[in-house]
Structure 1
Amino acid sequence: MKKSAELKQERAQKIEAQRALHNTATAEKRNLNETETTSFRALQTEIESLDGQIKDAEAFETNLRSLEGSQPTSFTPENQEQRNTPKKVFSLNRAIRSQMANGSLEGAELEVHTATVEMAKRAGIPISGIAVPLFDSRSVQMETRADGQTVTGDSGGYGGNLVATEIQPVIDKLRPQPVVEKLGAIFLTGLQGDLKFPVNDGGIAATWEGEDAEVANTKNAYSSKTMKPIRLAVAVPISLQNIMQSSIDMENYTMSEIRTIVANAIDLAAINGSGTGQPIGILNVSGTNSVAGGTNGLAPTYGNVVAMETAVFVENANSAKLQYLSNPKVRGKLKTTTQVDGYPTYLMAADGSVNGYPFTASNHVPSNLTKGTASGVCSAAIFGDFSQLIVGQWGFMDITVDNMSRKKEGYIEIIVNVFLDVLVKQPKAFTVIKDLLTA
């Protein structure tokens, strides 16, 4: 009897074949022809058969587990070794090795891939490589190494060479911490197709009229905004030796790094995306409120901090989630700049708030802008309602393994594709300033 995980993979392949038939007919704006209908029904029969086999296999596997748990075991070197060997869950290295060999996943890797593919199919997302949830906390439990012999008083000739070198966790690169989700941005996941948001641009008006005067008709005008998936890609070269050896938790670290890079890319796009080949962020979207410091930039003042707040309130965009966002340089300047000369009340209060609102610092907010003669030294800041910011995620990390391009160098490459977009629903809910001087 096949394992339930293998049967589930076969079932997923059958469903994918049905989807291909359906998509072909849909693309040509027609129903299934006779041949396609026959194939579709045959696949359905096979799927229903697999459903029964999966049910039987799962029941059998449950029986085996209960039997193993109920039987006493005597001490033997073999079962003691099994007790001491940690159970492994999803392993990126094993998944990659399987793709390098015969392309067949097994065990936990097959289960994660199959479950994620099922979710991707429901969202209409094609998966070409290994499917892994975009934000997943699964980890790999690796075998622990034995302690090395401790030797003192010699330089290695009498035992020092037997001491194992204990590899410690990698020291992380310092990166900005993602902030937009914490600020209140809305994350939409598992999307399929483009998203279209109708926008009410107003138009209906009430007028005071005389007792028998005719009132003029008014109506709202509508426009729309669209979110479309934009590809975010990461390519990571990994040595074959790294893949074949798993002496430390390097694969977990690699996956964590990839997820961190993706999260930072989302943050940067939401804040300062250019809109060219990438989403457009708050600092560059048209229609936001704008406050200027000076012709050649200006240090933060209480006046322009309040002006940022005022502009949002004038546009009726005030909400309970208003807050400031800038970079650490501006944060430092706010902490040392008084509201009024000679009076020890600073722009940033002791609790970290500014003008009564929360303040967040991120290095994704630029500090190298130019205004007049202030070249490359101006910082930006944002004030607004970050719930007006939407981040769309078209689902999952699609991991493809390329074990040929750099084969002579002893490398493989894993390519990760994620599809995302950012939408500022109401630009008037934000005020932007781009010429703050911090020196």
Structure 2
Amino acid sequence: MKRSALILQKRAEKIEAQRALHATAEGEKRSLNETETVEFRSLQQEIEKLTGEYNDALAYEENLRSLEGSEETEFTPAGEQRGSEKPRFSLHRAIRSQMSGSAHVVLAGAELDVHQRAVQSVSNANIAVTGFGIQMRAAQTVTGDSGGYGGNLVATELQDPIDFLRPEPLMKKLGATYLTGLQGNLRYPKNEGGIVATWEGETDETDSSANAYGYVDSLPKRLSVTVPISLQNLMQSNIDLEIYTMKEINAAIENAIDAAAINGSGTGQPIGVLNVSGTNQVTTGTNGSAPTWDNIVDLETGIFVSNASSAKMSYVVNPQTRGKLKKTKHEAGDLGYLMDKSGEINGYPSTASNHVPANLTKGTGTNLSAMAFGDWTQVLINQWGYMDISVDEKSQKKKGFVEITVNVFLDVLFKQPKSFSVIKGLITT
């Protein structure tokens, strides 16, 4: 066994010993104790020493192979011998071995040895040598000759992809409730009030009263995404493309839920807080108007008047409104701004998201913004069944594509719309 292989085996034993230490600690649900930490660090020093020895051994063995290869790939006429030396490699003889016909010669001797070394050198890259191969060992540089020689041999290490820029996940952050694994259609009975208490005289008859009940339905709506991936991409990727793709699909679904909860139309998709009926509405001017301290206070007041206040209320704005509020003072001469440095508005936290529209129109006003305030724990994100994932390798097989399709069935429900106040038509640019 080569020295590099022996060193590699010893190094693996040390790493396995480290793994055993961690397995013991994890099994007991604790971190490494003092004794184990000392042992772990001692093993780490040995591993680092063995790593250096391994790299030295590899370099030495490569030097030996280079020396042997330079002797064997010396081109001389076929059959030529130098004294008692073995026959040298013959390029012509190797070429003839690949020609069909009666003169066909099978690779043998020095030609076979050189070919086998070439095959071995590319085996780790899963490259098939279909003819005969010669492992070239000419001197190379990385930057010389404009990189046309050695530079083209330098491997490029593929790292994890840089994630696509999406709005920050919103509903989970704000405290919405997620219900999963649902089956039938959902109907939520809703107490709309009616029982009252009245002051009566000592013997006066009290009028009867009863609660009035309505209901709110929640029905599944299909959210779907299909991603085609080429077979070549799957085979050649140095990262686990399928796992990364599923991560991106999950992010896309979560963003679609957030977008629907904020500004969904209710047609073929859930209805969002900006469009659901029953919220407290704060109005702006005929053609829109800039945000004011009065607007912000009115958003809060509507909720309190409706008995819908809670300790978890929060503002949701878009980046344009966020910037406008940070530059707008309460009133002339007031040193305070509508949004303070911590991001609070009127003493409540705020979150900025591009899911809040900035392209609304009102009268002649364009590119106007919206803003919502309320108790986001009143939002239900209902999910039926499970995330259905299907892989179709047949529909586009002639094009070399595999399609990954994900279907989920969801709805967004606002238990008490009066827990929210909405304003549209803000001039923020």
TM class, shorter-length: 0.5 to 0.7
TM-fit CA distance, 1:261: 0.1
Letter matched to residue 418 of structure 2: K
Matches of residues 50-61 of structure 1 in structure 2 within 5 Å?
Answer: none
Q: Secondary structure at the match of 1:356?
A: coil
2:211 pairs with 1:220: yes
Higher relative contact order (CA 8 A, sep 6+): 1
Q: Secondary structure in 2 aligned to 1:349?
A: coil
Residue 76 of structure 2: aligned partner:
none
What secondary structure sits across from 1:360 in the alignment?
strand
Out of 379, 394, 400, which is 2:369 matched to?
A: 379
- 2:312–2:377 Cα contact (<8 Å) kept: yes
The residue aligned with 1:211 is: 202
Tell me how far 1:338 sits from its aligned partner.
0.5
Q: Write out aligned runs for 1:276-315 (5 A).
A: 276-315=267-306
**Corresponding residue for residue 83 of structure 2:** none
The answer for unaligned runs of 5 or more in structure 1 is 1-73, 85-143
Check the 8 A contact 2:221/2:411 in 1, yes or no.
Answer: yes
**Structure 1 residues 161, 351: CA separation in 2 closer, same or farther (over 3 Å shift)?**
closer
| CA distance in structure 2 between the aligned counterparts of 1:228 and 1:187, rounded to whole angstroms | 15
Bigger-Rg structure (1/2)? 2
Cα distance change, pair 411–292 in 1 and its aligned pair in 2 (3 A): same
2:397 aligned with 1:434: no
Post-superposition offset of 1:170: 2.0
Which of 170, 190, 193 is the equivalent residue of 1:202? 193
Aligned residue number for residue 102 of structure 2: none
Q: Name the SS for the 1:343 alignment partner.
A: coil
C-alpha contact 1:324 1:359 (8 A) present in aligned 2? yes
Is 1:328 equivalent to 2:330 in the alignment? no
**CA–CA separation in structure 1 for the residues paired with 2:210 and 2:6:** 83
The aligned residue for residue 409 of structure 1 is 399
Q: Deviations 1:351-374 (Å, cap 9, x if unpaired)?
A: 210111111100001111111110
Q: Deviation at 1:420? A: 1.0
TM-score (structure 1 length as normaliser): 0.65
Q: What is the Cα deviation at residue 330 of structure 1?
A: 0.3
> 2: CA distance between counterparts of 1:372 and 1:158?
66
- Equivalence map 1:318-357=2 (5 Å): 318-357=309-348
1:313 partner SS:
helix
- After TM superposition, give the deviation of residue 80 of structure 1 in Å: 9.3
TM-score by length of 2: 0.66
Asked if the contact 1:150–1:163 (Cα under 8 Å) also holds between the matched residues in 2, the reply is no
Output the aligned Cα RMSD.
2.6
Match of 1:270 in 2: 261
Partner of 1:164: 155
1:227 Cα shift?
A: 1.8
Q: How does 1:170-185 map to 2 (within 5 A)?
A: 170-185=161-176
- Name the CA distance, whole Å, in 1 between partners of 2:13 and 2:401: 33
Aligned pairs, number? 303
Displacement after TM superposition at 1:209 (Å):
1.8
- Amino acid across the alignment from 2:157: E
Please tell me whether the aligned partners of residues 180 and 386 of structure 2 are also in contact (alpha carbons under 8 angstroms): no
Partners in 1 of 2:331 and 2:147 — Cα distance? 68
Alignment-mate amino acid for residue 287 of structure 1: G
Q: Give the C-alpha shift of residue 76 in structure 1.
A: 10
Counterpart CA distance in 2 for 1:243 and 1:397 is: 23
Q: CA deviation at 1:435?
A: 1.0
Question: Which of 384, 389, 409 pairs up with 1:394?
Answer: 384
Pair 1:81–1:306, CA change in 2 (3 A): same
Q: Deviations over 1:169-191 (max 9, x none)?
A: 32222111111111111111222
Hey, what does 2:245 align to over in structure 1? 254
Deviations 1:54-73 (A, max 9, x none): xxxxxxxxxxxxxxxxxxxx
Q: Compute the displacement of 1:248 (Å).
A: 2.2
Which whole-Å CA distance do the structure 2 matches of 1:150 and 1:266 have between them? 54
CA distance in 2, matches of 1:342, 1:215: 57
**Counterpart of 2:411?**
421
**Amino acid of the residue matched to residue 183 of structure 1?**
L
d(CA) in 2 for partners of 1:357, 1:432 = 15
